[in-house]
Amino acid sequence: MWRSFILIVLLLFSPVLNASELSFSQNARTFESQTQSLFIKGLAFACLNSTQIPDDLPCNPALLTYLQKESLSLQALISNGSSNLEKIKKLLNQSSTQDTIDALFSKERILQIESHASLLFRSKYFAAQYLPVDIKGFSVVRNEANPDVEFYAVEDKGFRLQAAYPLTENLTIGLQSRLTDRKFIRQRFKLTDLATPAGKNLLTPKTYNFQTLEPSFSALVYQPWKVRISMMYANAGRYSERYDQIDPADELQGGISITPELLPWGELLLSLDYKSLTAEDSSLDKLHYGVSYSFGSMSISGGIDTHGISSGVFFSIQSISAGILYTTTKGLGDDSQNYTQTVYAQVGWQI
Amino acid sequence: MLKIIWKKITSSRASFLFLVSLFSLTIGTACSTKHSEIQNSDLLRAKRLIDNQQTDEAIELLEQNSEKNSTDPEYRVTLASAYAHKAGIRIQSLSGIVHASNQLKKINEQNGGAFGTTSDYNSGDTQNRTHQRLSYLSKILAASSNYFLLISTIPTVPENKVVFIKKSIKLMNDSRVTWRASDITYRLLLEIIYFKYSFSTQFLDQLMEPSQRSKESCTLDIQTLSTATMSLGKQLIDILSDYALIYPQNKEQILDRSNELSQNITNLAVNLQIADGVDLISASIFSDPVLSQRVGGFVRCGGHSY
Amino acid sequence: MLIFSQQKRTPPSYLQWIIFILCCAFSIPSLALTPNETESWDTFARLMEKQKSTDHTQGISYIISGSLALIGGGVGENISSDPLEKGVYTLFQTMGIASIGYGAYTWQIGNEDRGFYEMILKSNLAPQSKSEILRVYRQSTQERQKKERFIKMITHGLISALNFYSASQQSNDSIKTSLYFIGGVNLLACITFSF
């Protein structure tokens, strides 16, 4: 019976026709509406069941109760492409010049940057995060003869609050609230559009704010290998303006994980989540598979989804932490030249 | 060690099943990547080929389905851009022209239209009118020096690649297609590039001093000059009308300029025809070697003997 | 076997929800093994042997992971050309050495309870005497912890007040909010330590 089960799974998820040469060159782990730490990016955002996230609040607030020690820390993350940070900020602050536009769209085919700093407070039942600066930008220019630009730049500021309560030893519930002010530009245009009167406002940023309330639960359902199931109702709340191209719809997210005791030391976690990261994710895009291994001061994470592959290492000792993550949109066995590679670096200090 | 691991796996069969499912999912998701534009796969593929400098393959791909997509503006402009790419047009060259066009607009606004006259151009006594004409001439000279500076930023197309620019412009002039503002802007840029080529080869070359002076090389081909003037005039009118489409708020002003230009070109062509006639007659009448050099001798060779 | 579905549970009442929300404002200290005052020496000894074993595993883990960080950081720094990556790899090496040191400390020395246990183990005291000393040790530890909590409460309270004051004087919005955040967190810690 279990053989047929495996066969069904293999048939269901058999490799889709490799269409990478037709795919839009996206960044594997930077998305307009997602602000997550290096470790979570490494897991391909399959973190609904991760009880020990060393550099961020848990994705699922119900897992706060598994926290072993309260802490107050500062984390700062930056990706490669940091030279573009000033240009993106100028665009978002509407203080850009023609030279900025040229530098952004005429000189490089792919441009990317993610940079954020956050203050985190974590304790067993309550956690809070303050995000004073979070900037993301991505652009791809196709057809250098008549450039076709797909571009987004997002700046977020705000708070994230979490609370958790254990109902039983193996069932916990949680609540998360995000309070965010967002400024963004998300456009697809031809470079020649910028010379037309209609195109003058193409790069004008839109601003809005939102407050969400996201309940969740987590349950340890099977003791051998600690099989855990979690669910969370995400993105529900009040939005001053709703932009469907950037905000994923309200949805029920779910995840399942196991902690196989295969190795004598350390903790291995395998997890599978079903959740949207962008407003355009299809059903297959919502599947995220992550693996993490924690051993001493080191935590290794790896993840795969249709957006790309990621792998990183994170070290944390006493009050200092640092991590590095590699991501790529190149699929397995893909020899196309059209892919994006990104390196993220993060440092943290426990206050 | 392996025996211990195997024992653990078999003792937790359900969890192992989950593990295998996850592994299969790994392979499945890793081998599939996002493809959000399958419906425009030809276009996307063509754009990637252009970026990879495989322009011929891009043109071949687009030409294959051009009849099916004959009224699709995106398809047509991509094919036109492929031809333009073959002629050497790149992002860097385009940004220079966009800069130039913005500066042209500023000069026009600052000078009240570089070639526009004021309301009292023809009013007042002779002294006033002379003053107005001198002032107008100095304005034109000042603006012209800026214009020539700007013209230098427009990319020059080699002789053997001009055919691709012409093909590109022809593709963009199909009246069956509902062109978008960005397409018209692109067509305008190509027309400016082609205008520069035409101006330098068909017009300026006629007036430049030849490398070797002879009776034939110092002759001014007024007929060719006249034809070139007409052609350049038509190109300028096309440029102005495209400009009017992009900036409809200036439509009336541009239309006036266009009509004025059309009239001036017609007058110029007529004058050139007359000059050609006079030139021929004077060549047959005057025996003096200097006077018999005709207009070309003076314009191209400075009246020097050859 | 579904653990949570075995027993019939009544859904939480509204009062329980209110208590849950209030409890969200407070944190509970770490999960250190703290046996109660009346435990016997035998119980304490079993606990400490377990702790030694855990310290051994944890210590070796930190030493191995620290070594990997040191070697990996060195290799990565040589391979990488990006200055930001090089900087992170240098930090990895520093943390690797710190991790090795911390691992060695955890493995060989451990915490205060373990030091006390090893000291009593080496003595020739009778089991009853050992239990009596353990009781006194626990009493004195609790008194010290009370004093520690009081000092921490004052310290966090003062830090909180200072940050709130600095925030009120700050003109930059981001820094102001950060200072209020740090002040708020320290106020929370102050309240926690007051219980």
Comparing alpha-carbon positions, the chain A residue that sits nearest to B92 is A106
Task: Express each pLDDT in A251-267 by its tens digit.
Answer: 999 999 999 887 778 89
Give the E-state strand segments of A6-99 in sequence order: 71-79
Chain B residues with CB inside 8 Å of A109's CB? 51
* Position A74, amino acid: L
Chain C residues with CB inside 8 Å of A350's CB? none
Collect all residues with Cβ–Cβ distance below 8 Å to B68 and sequence separation of at least 6.
none
The C-alpha atoms of residue B46 and residue B55 are separated, in whole angstroms, by 8
Residue whose pair of structure tokens reads 């059209």 in the numeric block: A338
Q: Is A263 on the interface with C (CB under 8 A)?
A: no
Inter-chain CB proximity B15 and A19 less than 8 Å? no
Task: Give which of A350, A347, A349, A344 is closest to A80, Cα–Cα.
Answer: A344
Chain A residues with CB inside 8 Å of C85's CB? 324, 343, 345
Tell me the pLDDT of chain A (351 aa) as tens digits. 444 443 334 333 333 333 333 345 578 899 999 999 999 999 999 999 999 899 999 999 999 999 888 889 999 999 988 888 888 998 898 887 777 777 777 777 788 899 999 999 999 899 999 999 899 999 888 888 888 888 899 999 999 999 999 999 999 999 999 999 999 999 988 888 887 888 888 889 999 999 999 999 999 998 888 899 999 999 999 999 989 888 899 999 999 999 988 777 889 999 999 999 999 899 999 999 999 999 888 999 999 999 999 999 999 888 889 999 999 988 755 556 667 888 999 999 988
Task: Express each pLDDT in A17-29 by its tens digit.
Answer: 333 333 455 788 9
pTM listed for this prediction = 0.77
- Number of C-beta neighbours around residue B170 at 10 A: 11
Task: Give which of A49, A27, A29, A28 is closest to A38, Cα–Cα.
Answer: A29
* Complex prediction ipTM: 0.76
Is beta strand A71-79 parallel, antiparallel or unpaired with respect to A341-350? antiparallel
- Tokens representing A310 are 């990621």
Inter-chain CB proximity A320 and C95 less than 8 Å? yes
Please tell me which of the candidates B15, B22, B189 has its beta carbon nearest to residue A225: B15
Q: How far is C31 from chain A (nearest CA, A)?
A: 6
- Tokens representing A269 are 């976690």
Please tell me which of the candidates A16, A143, A258 has its beta carbon nearest to residue B19: A258
Comparing alpha-carbon positions, the chain A residue that sits nearest to B182 is A193
Q: Is A165 on the interface with C (CB under 8 A)?
A: yes
Sign of CA dihedral A13, A16, A21, A23: negative
Q: Which helix (H) or strand (E) holds C111?
A: none
Residue whose pair of structure tokens reads 């102050």 in the numeric block: C190
- Tokens representing A215 are 């309940």
- Tokens representing A109 are 């085919």
